[in-house]
Structure 1
Amino acid sequence: MIKPYVLGIDIGGTNTVFGIVDARGVVLASSSIKTQKHADFDDYLDELHTEVIRLLEANDALDKILGIGIGAPNANYYTGTIEGKVNLPWPSPLPLAQIVSEKFGIPVAITNDANAAAIGEMTYGAARGLRDFIMITLGTGVGSGIVINGQLVYGHDGFAGELGHTIIRRNNGRLCGCGRTGCLEAYCSATGVARTAREFLEIREDESLLRELPIDAITSKDVYDAAIKGDKLAKEIFEYTGNILGEAFADFTVFSSPEAIILFGGLAKSGDLLMRPLRESMEKNMLHIFKGKVKVIPSELKEADAAVLGASALGWEAGKANSAPNPVAVPAKTNE
């Protein structure tokens, strides 16, 4: 029997989102559970299994899933494990792919969330037809997925592509969540933009709409809203952020000579507030042989579906590489 769908699962620090996806990249149906609800992973998996089965049964897809793709923090594609310190309540390393595959009776492949976004973009979005590109996710952190010659770069250990943790400011750089100082993520994530706003407000005396807000509660959206209203200081914050991103992108280009750098996440929707200084800074700092060659473009994935789509793209790979002998493992019915 031809199995026309895959299941995409995105495990975030707050929510786990999952959905049924067809070969055209259409999310037929999706749902979610709270990631942090269960401190015990077995309890979490039981709830996930129950809700997935419910979704599959409601959409006549119970025996039509070819594979499962999972995007998760610090997920290692090679080993199928979640490794290292992440914002999840379960012990590490966790053999996630093996456990989920045994639970559902379906082949599973996993990778980190930024790599999943790159695969999703290449399968369904702006990177279709591109063989060399870099995916940058601008959210709470800065994630990245690097594709060279049509292949995602994993490195020898599965953790290649941490461009958010390249050091962009070596003297008196900001402390990053990874424990180092000066990382790109500390400046150009949504959290980094909010940090820049607080720094500017503390060291300058300019009038700004941002001064009407509690300084410790300012978010990147607050900065965007103020900039849209013409606030000069807020615009300068985007200028500062774009300049740093442009410098970093010029360096990334030297490494892999991408045809495009694709941006995803809330900050990527800031339009010319971010894109103009970013592109100007990138070209200004670009090695001459690369000038004018690299496009910076926004993602074409719908934000509501992006996490599931990115993860689901791995499901096709898992399903084609392994033949699943069993349908989805359905809980045995009990006589009441």
Structure 2
Amino acid sequence: MIKDYAVGIDIGGTSTKFGIVDRKGNILEQGRIRTDIHENAEDFIEELYDNLSLLIAKHGGNEKFKGIGVGAPNGNYYTGTIEYAPNLKWKGIIPMANLIEKKFGIPAKLTNDANAAAMGEMMYGVAKGMKHFITITLGTGVGSGIVIDGKIVVGHDGFAGELGHVTVRPGGRLHKGTGMRGSLESYASATGVRETAIEFLTDQPDAPSLLRNYSIDELTSETVFKCAEQGDAIANHIFEFTGEILGEALANFVMFSSPEAIILFGGLTKAGDLILKPTVQAMEANLIQIFKNKVKILYSDLKEADAAILGASALVWEAEH
């Protein structure tokens, strides 16, 4: 029987999205469950099975499915394990692909969530036809997928390409998840933007700002964006500061792998030019001549929820491409 479908699962710190995907990259159905309410992986898989098995049955049952692809934080492509993920409750090494395969009776493959997003871009998104590009996800954290010669870079142990954890400000801001100081993720993520807002408001107690109308708990990257849109000076400065740090880091990444494009993705990209302009400026200013004005910075055109599911499902079809 022809296996027409794949399942794509995106495991996030708060919620897990899943969908049924056909060979053309159409998501026929999707759903989500909470990740953070499950103290152990086994309970999580039980709830996933209760929800997802219904969709699988609806589309002809197991024999119509080629496989299940999973994108997860700290996912190891080689072993199918999630290893020491700082934003998941389940500690240590979780043999996730194995557990899913056993429960569903369908072959399962797993990779890092950001690598899954890069695969989605390469198969279905703006990177279609590109052999050299980098995807950067600007969400709660900063994820990245590096593609060289049409292949995702995974390194000797399955964990290559953690650009969010490179040090951009030695001795700088503490990253609570890793204990490192001054990493890109602690500045250029939605969490980083919130931290910057708190710092700027504290350092300039007399400067008026619309941001002061929000309690500390209400301060998010979205509230900063709303205030920046209304012309708030501090809010605009926050995006300039964030874009500058991101651009400097991107310049380093360009000089390392000479990509055709860098594709930005995730919640922070909703800020549009507020973050893009300072990012491009800082990137170009920090490139040596041979790399200047060669690399496009693009926004992903895949819907955020879709990209994660599509990318994970692309793992199932990759051998055919």
2:211 maps to 1:206: no
Is residue 10 of structure 1 aligned with residue 23 of structure 2? no
Q: Deviations over 1:117-147 (max 9, x none)?
A: 1011111101101100000000111110100
Aligned equivalents of 2:220, 2:212: Cα separation in 1: 13
Q: CA deviation at 1:58?
A: 2.9
**Normalised TM-score (structure 1):** 0.91
1:175 maps to 174
SS of equivalent to 2:137:
strand
In 1, Cα distance between equivalents of 2:63 and 2:3: 8
Superposition map of 1:1-336 within 5 A: 1-60=1-60, 62-170=62-170, 172-176=171-175, 177-204=177-204, 205-317=206-318
Q: Name the CA shift for 1:91/1:174 in 2 (closer, same or farther; >3 Å).
A: closer
Deviates more, 1:5-14 or 1:288-297: 5-14
RMSD: 1.6
Amino acid at match of 2:135: M
**Residues of 2 paired with 1:197 and 1:38: CA distance?**
32
Q: Distance in 1 between matches of 2:188 and 2:89?
A: 27
Which moved further from structure 2: 91-100 or 159-168?
91-100
**SS of aligned partner of 2:63:** coil
Offset from partner CA, 1:196-216 (integer Å, 9 cap, x none): 111111111321100111135
Q: Secondary structure at the match of 2:20?
A: strand
Cα displacement (A) at 1:61: 5.1
Q: Is the 8 A contact 2:10 2:312 kept in 1?
A: yes
**Is the 2:248–2:282 contact (alpha carbons within 8 Å) kept by the matching residues of 1?**
yes
Determine the structure 2 residue equivalent to 1:334.
none
- Asked if the contact 1:53/1:62 (under 8 Å) is kept, the reply is no
The alignment-based identity, stated in percent, is 58
Greater alpha carbon shift after TM alignment, 235-244 vs 62-71: 62-71
Higher relative contact order (CA 8 A, sep 6+): 1
Contact 1:68/1:106 (8 A) holds in 2: yes
2:17 touches 2:305 (CA, 8 Å); kept in 1? no
In the alignment, structure 2 segments of 5+ residues that lack a partner are none
Tell me, yes or no, if the aligned pair for 1:142 and 1:188 is still in contact at 8 Å.
yes
Question: Is the CA contact 2:62–2:106 (under 8 Å) kept in the aligned structure 1?
Answer: no
* 3-state SS of 1:145 partner: strand
Amino acid corresponding to residue 221 of structure 1 in structure 2? E
Tell me the matched-pair count: 319
Residue pair 1:72, 1:113 contacting (<8 A) in 2 also: yes
Moved more, 3-12 or 214-223: 214-223
2-structure distance, mates of 1:316, 1:21: 10
Instruction: Provide the rounded CA distance (Å) in 1 between the counterparts of 2:14 and 2:88.
Output: 9
| Deviation, structure 1 residue 50 | 2.3
Shifted more, 158-167 versus 46-55: the winner is 46-55
Indicate the structure (1 or 2) with the bigger Cα radius of gyration: 1
Aligned to 1:332: none
> Per the alignment, in what secondary structure is the counterpart of residue 274 of structure 1?
helix
Q: Matched residues in 2 for 1:258 and 1:151: separation?
A: 12
Q: Which moved more, 1:55-64 or 1:273-282?
A: 55-64
Amino acid of the residue matched to residue 238 of structure 2? I
The SS at the match of 2:99 is: helix
Please give the per-residue CA displacement for 1:173-230, whole angstroms capped at 9, x wherever unaligned.
Answer: 0001311101011111001111111111111132110011113531100000001111
Whole-Å separation in 2 of the counterparts to 1:45 and 1:293: 45
- Whole-angstrom CA distance in 2 between matches of 1:267 and 1:86: 21
Q: Normalising by structure 2, report the TM-score.
A: 0.95
Partners in 1 of 2:282 and 2:74 — Cα distance?
31
Q: Which runs of 5+ in 1 are unaligned?
A: 322-336
Q: How many angstroms apart in 1 are the aligned matches of 2:202 and 2:43?
A: 46
How big is the shift at 1:251? 0.6
Amino acid aligned to 1:99: L
Shift of 1:47: 2.2
